[in-house]
Amino acid sequence: MKHLIDSSDLSLAEESAVIELALDIISHRDAYREKCRGRKLATLFYEPSTRTRLSFTAAMMELGGNVLGFADAASSSVSKGETVTDTVRVVSCFADIIAMRHFKEGAPLAASHYATVPVINAGDGSHAHPTQTLTDLLTIRREKGRIDNLTIGFCGDLRYGRTVHSLLRALSRHSGIEVVLISPEELRLPEYILHNVCERHNMPVSEVRTMEEVMPRLDVLYMTRVQKERFTDEAQFERLRDTYILTPEKLSSAKSDMVVLHPLPRVNEITQSVDSDPRAAYFRQVENGKFVRMALICKLLEEADATMKPAAAQQHENGCRCEAMHCSNPVCITATEDVAPLFHRDENGTLRCAYCEASADAEAK
């Protein structure tokens, strides 16, 4: 693990090691206070964030390190037209590790090809959010005592919700997980995740339209916000925004030990009256995000100290270069930056852009 761009960059053993380290940090806070003394984390946030950016900042501070970066690309030389790839080459001169959030899918992957320090994907468009996944896994582990043999309901915007995509990828490697997808037709999980992640790994999946019909069966209910910023049709957003609202009444049919998660921010999808229910774990989930990011920073710096090559640029280790093709996804990083086209075949043989996972077969001759 040199970088963390996608949940699948971690083997199951590495994922488990991060979770175990986070649990040790929780139990022995003082032992980690000097762990990153003299090290610097750069937070490069091209898209708004409260939890992810501040929890990375708090994590590095609790490890005794320092933090630099920007919370708004408009205050950096990005506003003058500097590319992501140039930005990370520059920031690699100042920091030991980079956490990047970007509205373009694949931007952190492109960054990892040019940075000489580890890059962590802190969320790229609708694509992936692997550190939220580690947060979610640690929370499930602490709340339920295990990350297997659970029935987990995902409710809301499963189309654009990157936290759902990343968490499903991670859960598909655990045993005994049954998934219930609860969404309107327009916000269904993308087919490629349904096939390549759920079906491919024999993870049982069912789809329903209401949370009430499955509530009594669930061990975990993962609520999500309808992602206004990803819609191109505002009328469609207005029609779908309040499809699901979790209330104490709806929770009354749930198991007494069911856990309600939400990556936050919430808008309307969970009423505040649910917050005092002991099953509402979403604010505990926020704090877990800091501990798991502390663990991840420690692991990535350890690995970088041992193995990082001086020039990571141009390695393109996770795909084949394919100069004659280009990705047709308008929100892929390749649409705006001059990064080398990179495609790979997924488990089903479909040719996909390595940055955003859009299918390229339509373009292939």
Q: Which residues pair with 70 in a beta bridge?
A: 44
By CB under 6 A, residue 247 contacts ligand CP: no
Q: Which stretch binds ligand CP (CB under 6 A): 6-14, 48-56, 185-193, 211-219?
A: 48-56
Q: How many helices (H) and strands (E) does the chain have?
A: 10, 12
Identified binder of ligand CP from the candidate list 106, 118, 123, 341, rule CB under 6 A: 123
Q: How far is the CB of 151 from ligand CP (least distance, A)?
A: 23
* Residues sharing a CB contact under 8 Å with residue 123, sequence separation 6 or more, in sequence order: 47, 49, 52, 101, 102, 129, 132, 162
Q: How far is the CB of 112 from ligand CP (least distance, A)?
A: 19
By CB under 6 A, residue 125 contacts ligand CP: no
Contact 116, 182 (CB under 8 A): no
How many residues bind to ligand CP according to rule CB under 6 A? 9
- In angstroms, rounded to a whole number, what is the distance separating the alpha carbons of residues 192 and 210? 23
Task: Give 168 or 304: the residue with its C-beta nearer to ligand CP.
Answer: 168
Q: Tokens 């979790």, residue?
A: 246
By CB under 6 A, residue 51 contacts ligand CP: yes
Q: How far is the CB of 167 from ligand CP (least distance, A)?
A: 12
Amino acid identity of residue 114, one-letter, is Y
* Residues sharing a CB contact under 8 Å with residue 299, sequence separation 6 or more, in sequence order: 1, 14, 17, 18, 21
Q: Is 294 exposed, middle or buried (0-12, 13-18, 19+ CB in 10 A)?
A: buried
Task: Give 167 or 215: the residue with its C-beta nearer to ligand CP.
Answer: 167
Q: Which stretch binds ligand CP (CB under 6 A): 31-39, 44-52, 212-220, 341-349?
A: 44-52
Token pair for residue 96? 């030991």
Task: Give 118 or 123: the residue with its C-beta nearer to ligand CP.
Answer: 123
Task: Give 289 or 341: the residue with its C-beta nearer to ligand CP.
Answer: 289
3-state secondary structure of 226: coil
How many alpha carbons lie under 13 Å from residue 355 in its C-beta half-sphere? 32
Mark residues 83-112: x for contact with ligand CP by CB under 6 A, - for none: ------------------------------
Q: Which stretch binds ligand CP (CB under 6 A): 228-236, 259-267, 272-280, 291-299?
A: 259-267
Task: Give 53 or 174: the residue with its C-beta nearer to ligand CP.
Answer: 53
3-state secondary structure of 87: helix
Task: Give 126 or 132: the residue with its C-beta nearer to ligand CP.
Answer: 132
Judged by CB under 6 A, the chain residues 131 through 190 that form the site for ligand CP are 132
By CB under 6 A, residue 44 contacts ligand CP: no
By CB under 6 A, residue 121 contacts ligand CP: no
Identified binder of ligand CP from the candidate list 106, 156, 263, 341, rule CB under 6 A: 263
Q: At what angle do helices 12-27 and 130-144 cross, to 10 degrees?
A: 60
By CB under 6 A, residue 264 contacts ligand CP: yes
By CB under 6 A, residue 49 contacts ligand CP: yes
Q: What is the pairing mode between strands 177-182 and 150-155?
A: parallel
DSSP letter at 336 equals T
Task: Give 43 or 196: the residue with its C-beta nearer to ligand CP.
Answer: 43
- In angstroms, rounded to a whole number, what is the distance separating the alpha carbons of residues 62 and 13? 25
Task: Give 75 or 314: the residue with its C-beta nearer to ligand CP.
Answer: 75
> Can you say how many angstroms the Cα of residue 239 is from the centroid of all Cα atoms in its chain?
26
3-state secondary structure of 164: helix
Identified binder of ligand CP from the candidate list 7, 52, 151, 329, rule CB under 6 A: 52
Q: How far is the CB of 359 from ligand CP (least distance, A)?
A: 26
Contact 4, 130 (CB under 8 A): yes
Q: Which stretch binds ligand CP (CB under 6 A): 14-22, 50-58, 173-181, 303-311?
A: 50-58
By CB under 6 A, residue 130 contacts ligand CP: no
Q: Which residue ranges make up the site for ligand CP (CB under 6 A)?
A: 49-52, 123, 132, 263-265
